[in-house]
Amino acid sequence: MEGFTPAAGLAGGFLIGLAAVMLLALTGRIAGISGILSGAIHAGEGRSGRWLFLAGLVAGAAVHQWLSGAALPVRELSWPLLAAGGLAVGLGTRLGSGCTSGHGVCGIARLSPRSIVATVVFMSTGIATVFVTRHLLGWAT
């Protein structure tokens, strides 16, 4: 085990869950980031709210780092890996109707069978991918 931060993990997870509760209570929407991003980039009603949410993600993270003084280390992953990862995440989350937040948090909280299956699948392929890239191919990801 390395870098285990249980208290921050639990507190941060609580804030993520709380944000999902707030969004549902106020707007009636599920806090799935891939769905919110897709709504923001496609034409349609309610785009401005989605852009405000996405700006809030950056602002909230910046405020936490400013208040805590925690400067996160900048990583320098090569651009082809970033681009390949981004393309797979964008395509996969739309085909699969959700990501870590929509399926992994909100969907599991609602005991949705689709979300439970999707989460098991993306966790499994994520673990398998890291095994292949780091341990079989020896990439420094």
Partner 1 sequence: MNRAATAAAWAISGVVFGAGLSLSGMINPRKVLAFLDVTGAWDPTLVLVMVAAVATPMILFRVVLRRETPFLDSRFYLPTRRDLDARLIGGAALFGVGWGIAGYCPGPAIAAFSVDLREPAIFCAAMIAGMYLSDLVPQWRASGQPA
Q: Which of residues 65-94 bind partner 1 (CB under 8 A)?
A: 65, 68, 70, 72-77, 79, 81-94
- For the chain, helix, strand, coil in percent to 5 are 75, 0, 25
| CA 128 – CA 115 distance, rounded (Å) | 20
Task: By CB under 8 A, name the one of 43, 45, 69, 113 that touches partner 1.
Answer: 113
Helix 79-95 to helix 33-41 angle (10° resolution) is 90
Q: How far is the CB of 73 from partner 1 (least distance, A)?
A: 7
59 interacts with partner 1 by CB under 8 A: yes
Q: How far is the CB of 63 from partner 1 (least distance, A)?
A: 6
44 interacts with partner 1 by CB under 8 A: no
- CA atoms lying within 13 Å on the CB side of residue 53: 25
Residue found by looking up tokens 């900048």 in the block? 74
Q: How far is the CB of 61 from partner 1 (least distance, A)?
A: 4
Task: Restricting to residues 3-32, name those near partner 1 by CB under 8 A.
Answer: 3-6, 8-31
